[in-house]
Amino acid sequence: MYQKYISSIVESCTKDNSYVVLLKWDTIEEVHKKIQERSILLQKIGNIIEKYQFEQTNISFHKTGKLMLTHVDHIETLLDKLLR
């Protein structure tokens, strides 16, 4: 189901199981609402980046349509839960 929102998923080379997820341009606002509903807002950086906690995963939401996810066990499972 999450595939309708995601343009690409790239695994980061860091040790903390990180991913960079690029959203499809026309779904950015819908994904943002889902993240706001299901996650805890930790920090806002200007009007560009918001940091959230979803279960054990840290999410950095960039208004340009990029998500940076850290501490991810299974990316597909996480995205299914977050974007259902």
Question: Smallest Cα–Cα separation from 39: which of 67, 12, 4?
Answer: 67
- Kindly tell me if the per-residue pLDDT of 14 is higher than 80: no
Put simply, whether the predicted model's pTM sits higher than 0.95 gets the answer no
Q: What is the pLDDT, as a whole number, of residue 17?
A: 87
DSSP codes joined into one string, 10-21:
EE-SSTT--EEE
Q: Which domain holds residue 57?
A: 2-83
The count of domains in the chain is: 1
SS3 67: strand
Q: Do residues 23 and 7 touch, judged by C-beta distance below 8 A?
A: yes
* Separation between Cα atoms, residue 30 and residue 37, nearest integer Å: 11
Neighbours of 45 (CB within 10 A): 10
Q: Give the CATH number for residue 49.
A: 3.30.310
Q: What is the pLDDT, as a whole number, of residue 1?
A: 77
What pLDDT, in 10s, does the model give residues 21-66? 999 999 999 999 999 999 999 999 999 999 999 999 999 999 999 9
